[in-house]
Amino acid sequence: MEIELYYTPHTRSSRPRWLLEELEVPYQLQPVDLFGGQRNPLHPLGSVPAVSIDGESMIESGAICHWLADCFPEKGLAPATTDPRRARYEQWMFFVPGTLEPPAFEILLHTQILPEKKRIEEIVPFATSGYHRVLRMLSRELDHDGYLLGKQFTCADIMMATTLTWLPELLEDHPPLLAYTRRLTARPAYQRAIEAISETA
């Protein structure tokens, strides 16, 4: 399988890059200077991530991760569809982009991403309140030293932890999530995934 990942640091493309490092499969990194105005030629909106797999393109970080984790069942990063834990795995895979990510992105959008004159200050407190509501729920789920599925680390943890790293200062009031994120970002595959592009093979 020939895999090319179109990638910009500090974006959702970090999710499939981390997964590929966990899978330990060969892939080529195609850097895209998205913040410098470069468009991704593989993405219809010019964005990242996108992958080319044996010449076929795919977009959306969640879909890419979902598909790749299932492609390598021997790696154990996704329960089999016949595994009783699969339903819970699917829940968390969709929870991240559907519930956790929206308020976090709104905060980032109106505090860092948009030009100052286009930011709407009133949105931030509302989004922050909503984000903390989600974090409180997750703190109860992750009040242990394991992962979303207990002892098994899966692709759902990659989806979750990458999003939690977006606003690390907001985890200070949620010690279980702070511990969970630190535990996951200490993994060797994560550390390889955040290396400078020039340092990767």
Per-residue pLDDT tens for 100-152? 999 999 999 999 999 999 999 999 999 999 999 999 999 999 999 999 999 99
147 close to 88: Cβ distance less than 8 angstroms: no
15 close to 5: Cβ distance less than 8 angstroms: no
CATH of 3-77+189-199, one of 3.40.30.10, 1.10.10.10, 3.40.50.620, 1.20.1050.10: 3.40.30.10
At 64-112, the pLDDT tens digits run 999 999 999 999 999 999 999 999 999 999 999 999 999 999 999 999 9
Q: Is the pLDDT of residue 154 over 60?
A: yes
Domains of the chain by residue range = 3-77+189-199, 86-187
Put the strands of the sheet holding 56-59 in their side by side order: 28-31, 3-7, 50-53, 56-59
3-class state of residue 39 by DSSP? coil
The structural architecture, per CATH, of the domain 86-187 is: Up-down Bundle (1.20)
Q: Is the pLDDT of residue 200 over 70?
A: no
At residue 43 the predicted structure's pLDDT band, cuts being 50, 70 and 90, is: very high
pLDDT of residue 185: 97
pLDDT of residue 195: 87
